[in-house]
Amino acid sequence: STFYERYHTLEEIYDWINRTAQDNPRTVKAILIGSSYEKRPLYVLKLSFNDRPNRKAMWIDCGIHAREWISPAFCLWFVHHSLSFYQQNTEITRILDSMDVYVLPVMNPDGYKYTWTAIKRRWWRKNRSISNSGFCVGVDLNRNFDVDWGIKGSSQNPCEEINCGPFPESEPETQAVANFLRRHKNIVQLYITIHSYSQMLIFPYSYTFDQAENHNDLLEMVQEAAQRIKRHYRNTYTYGPGAATLYPSSGGSDDWAHKLGIKYSFTFELQDRGEYGFLLPPSHISGACNEALLAVKTVGVKVLEKA
Ligand code: 0X9
Ligand code: ZN
């Protein structure tokens, strides 16, 4: 198997980030956007294939949840595809010709590292911040954003999996992403966050059953993505607004990005539908990533057509 068909330790991913930037000095830059609770750097790779003025941008983050190993694997897959198939594949070329792409391969490095250290830790989801009220560790970064914070599908109890933290953006990982997107909100048109598992293409809102004002556009985009996945890979993805399609929950990054003004905002839940769950075997990485790549390219091209 190739490098991209295996899961990698955090150290290997940091090495890959460095190497990728060094080997592609004209097109790839590593940008430090902050650091984690345990002081690990948060690097974003900026892919920029030309320097036309007024360029727009898209953002993809991976690894919000530690145990969802297919997610960082996808970010690496996506960058590799972009660098390998620019000017070969029509869709990735169209996207990279008109947008810069910001890729955060591991938003929760402390949690990711922890899942690699012992079998019983393989199911860790949150970051590794220590609450000042007691002995439990970890905040669910996808409950920590400042949108209806702490209300639905989240818990203020640090011992729980869906702990939203002591206050909105309490976590350095959340702050780093939120600050970066606030600074770049005028250029970023498309926000995508990669999770697993369940094979779902979700869009805002999750914090409420109210429809986003561009609901019909978002629905059309994920519907087309799901149809193309079915046609090309014979695999089923369900799609729709988060609250109705998955479950209601507050404080998520997709809803927050949408309310910031990034109108095209998505959460993609990759393979599988529960057979292996978080323990998706390496032999499934290429299938899972190619499907997700098709979905990313589908919504990316649609944004270009709409915006
Ligand atoms: O619950 C989550 O954070 C996501 N599912 S997961 O199984 N990967 O944990 C779904 C997030 C959907 N979006 C929001 N809740 N805002
Ligand atoms: Zn997740």
d(CA 46, CA 11): 20
pLDDT on residue 52:
80
Which ligand 1 atom is nearest residue 195's CA? 8
What is the residue-averaged pLDDT of the chain? Answer: 97
Check pocket membership of 265 for ligand 1, CB cut-off 6 A. Answer: no
- Do the strands 28-35 and 41-47 form a parallel or antiparallel pair, or are they unpaired? antiparallel
Check pocket membership of 27 for ligand 1, CB cut-off 6 A. Answer: no
Distance 104 CA to ligand 2 centre (A): 15
pLDDT on residue 53:
75
Which ligand 1 atom is nearest residue 255's CA? 16
Distance 65 CA to ligand 2 centre (A): 5
Check pocket membership of 171 for ligand 1, CB cut-off 6 A. Answer: no
Check pocket membership of 151 for ligand 1, CB cut-off 6 A. Answer: no
pLDDT-above-90 percentage for the chain: 95
Taking Cα atoms as reference points, which of 78, 69, 146 lies closest to residue 112?
Answer: 69
Does the structure show a pLDDT above 90 at 17? Answer: yes
pLDDT in tens, 190-205: 999 999 999 999 999 9
Distance 142 CA to ligand 1 centre (A): 7
Catalytic residue positions, numbered: 269
228 found inside a domain: yes
d(CA 250, CA 80): 33
299 found inside a domain: yes
d(CA 198, CA 106): 20
Which of 155, 206, 209 most suits a substitution to test ligand 1, by most atoms within 8 Å of the C-beta?
206
37 found inside a domain: yes
246 found inside a domain: yes
Q: Whose CA is nearest to atom 16 of ligand 1?
A: 252
Q: Are 299 and 222 in contact (CB under 8 A)?
A: yes
- Do the strands 238-241 and 56-62 form a parallel or antiparallel pair, or are they unpaired? unpaired
Residue 262: helix, strand or coil by DSSP?
coil
Number of domain units in the chain? 1
Which of 209, 265, 269, 272 most suits a substitution to test ligand 1, by most atoms within 8 Å of the C-beta?
269
Check pocket membership of 100 for ligand 1, CB cut-off 6 A. Answer: no
Q: What is the DSSP string of 119-164?
A: GGGTT--S--PBPSSSS-B---GGG-SSSSTTSSS-BS-TTSTTB-
The CATH number of the domain holding residue 42 is 3.40.630.10
How much is the average pLDDT of 41-61? Answer: 93
How much is the average pLDDT of 135-144? Answer: 97
Range of the domain at 247: 3-120+170-306
Check pocket membership of 252 for ligand 1, CB cut-off 6 A. Answer: yes
pLDDT in tens, 284-306: 999 999 999 999 999 999 999 99
Check pocket membership of 267 for ligand 1, CB cut-off 6 A. Answer: yes
How much is the average pLDDT of 177-191? Answer: 98
Which ligand 1 atom is nearest residue 143's CA? 3
Check pocket membership of 254 for ligand 1, CB cut-off 6 A. Answer: yes
pLDDT in tens, 204-221: 999 999 999 999 999 999
158 found inside a domain: no
Which of 126, 197, 246, 256 most suits a substitution to test ligand 1, by most atoms within 8 Å of the C-beta?
246
Taking Cα atoms as reference points, which of 141, 147, 140 lies closest to residue 207?
Answer: 147
Q: Are 104 and 42 in contact (CB under 8 A)?
A: yes
Q: Whose CA is nearest to atom 12 of ligand 1?
A: 242
Distance 184 CA to ligand 2 centre (A): 24
pLDDT in tens, 53-98: 778 999 999 999 999 999 999 999 999 999 999 999 999 999 999 9
